[in-house]
Amino acid sequence: MSKNTTAQSAMPTTGYIRRFKMPGLLGVSMPTIDRWVKKGVLPRPVKLTDNVTAFDAVEINHWLAERRGGSAQ
């Protein structure tokens, strides 16, 4: 069970991360995600369709690496 949970909660390294999954991955609330995007702290999401908004996983991983003080892979 822990392997499944870990695999499902791991940060993707490629593709897109749906907006509604970001709070769970980063450990913050949706209003915080929206506030960070508005302030330019977090990379802007991409509107893929009228109903689908997602973040570029590569951009998010680079953002996390910068915040950690390291380099992204």
Give the pLDDT of residue 9.
Answer: 57
Question: Higher model confidence: residue 55 or residue 8?
Answer: 55
Provide the 10 A C-beta neighbour count for residue 71. 8
4-51 pLDDT per residue, tens: 444 445 889 999 999 999 999 999 999 999 999 999 999 999 999 999
Gap between the Cα atoms of 38 and 23, Å rounded: 15
Domain count, the chain: 1
In a domain, residue 73? The reply is no
CATH number for the domain that contains residue 15: 1.10.1660
Q: Which domain holds residue 15?
A: 2-68
In a domain, residue 44? The reply is yes
Nearest 10 degrees: CA dihedral of 67, 64, 26, 31?
70
